[in-house]
Amino acid sequence: MTDYVLVHGAWGGSWGYDRLAGELQAAGHRVVLAQLTGLGTRKGEFHPGITLTTHIDDVCNQIASAATQGGFDTFVLVGHSYGGMIVTGVATRLGARIKALVYLDAFLPQDGQSLWDLTGEWEHDHYIGSQKFTPGAVAPLPGVVHPLLSPQPLLTLLEAVKFTGEEAKVGRRIYVFANAWEPTPFRKFVARVSTEKGWEYHEAKAGHDVMGDQPEQTLAILLGCA
C-alpha cells in the first residue's frame, strides 16, 4: 500500500482528481485530496489575505491529520499546474518523507521564484486587470471555462518559494509534460528536467488537464511510484 497526496491547480478543486483518486483507492492505496483555503470545496473561505504559504500549510496539515489515522509516514506527492508551487513548498518542509514528487504539467519553481516570476506579460496583465473587479482575487484566464471554477487569491501567485535544503531529500522527481496544449507556460521546464540529474520525464498527448485527457497514462505513472 502506498499513500498519495494530490494537489490541484489554480481556480480549481479536488474534483479534478476524482477519477484518479478512485482508481488509486481501487488498487488498494490511500489518498488525500488536498482541500485548499478559498478554492474548491472551501471557496466560501475566500479572503484576499490567502497566500502560497496558506496553501502549503493546508496540505501539510492534511498530511498530519491523515498520519494520526495511520499511514502517511511516507507518501507520493502530486501537483497539477499551480499545484507545482504548493508541492515544492511542501517538499521544503517534508522532503525526507516524500517517496516521489510528481509534477503534472505544473510550475516548477527554483529557490526564490514565485508563479509571477514563471509567467509572462499576458498572464500578468490578466492578474492585475482582475483587481478592478474583485481586489485580491484573480478570475480564471480567458478561455478557461468550468462551472466549478472560482477566483484565485492574488497573493498565492506573488509569493516566492524558499528552499530549506529539505527538498533535496525527496526520493524521486518526475515531470509529466502535456504536449498537445499551446501556448503553454510549461515548455521551459522540459529543458530543465532533461538536463538536471535526478529527473524522470514523461510526455502525455494531452491538453493541460492531463489526468482527464490521459487517465490511463497518468494512473500508470503514479502506480509506478508505489
Active site residues: 81
Q: What is d(CA 71, CA 15) in angstroms, rounded to the nearest whole number?
A: 23
DSSP designation for 170: -
Number of alpha carbons in the 13 Å side-chain half-sphere of residue 68:
5
C-alpha cell at 211: 489526468
Q: What is d(CA 226, CA 224) in angstroms, rounded to the nearest whole number?
A: 6
* 161, 85 contact by CB (below 8 A): yes
> Percent helix, strand, coil in the chain (nearest 5)?
40, 15, 40
**Per-residue burial over 99-122, b = 16 or more CB atoms within 10 Å of its CB, e = otherwise:** bbbbbbbbbbbeeebbbeebeeee
Residue matched to cell numbers 538536463: 195
Distance of CA 198 to the CA centre of its chain: 20
List the beta strands (DSSP E) in 62-148: 75-80, 98-104, 137-138
Distance of CA 37 to the CA centre of its chain: 14
Q: How many residues does the chain have?
A: 226
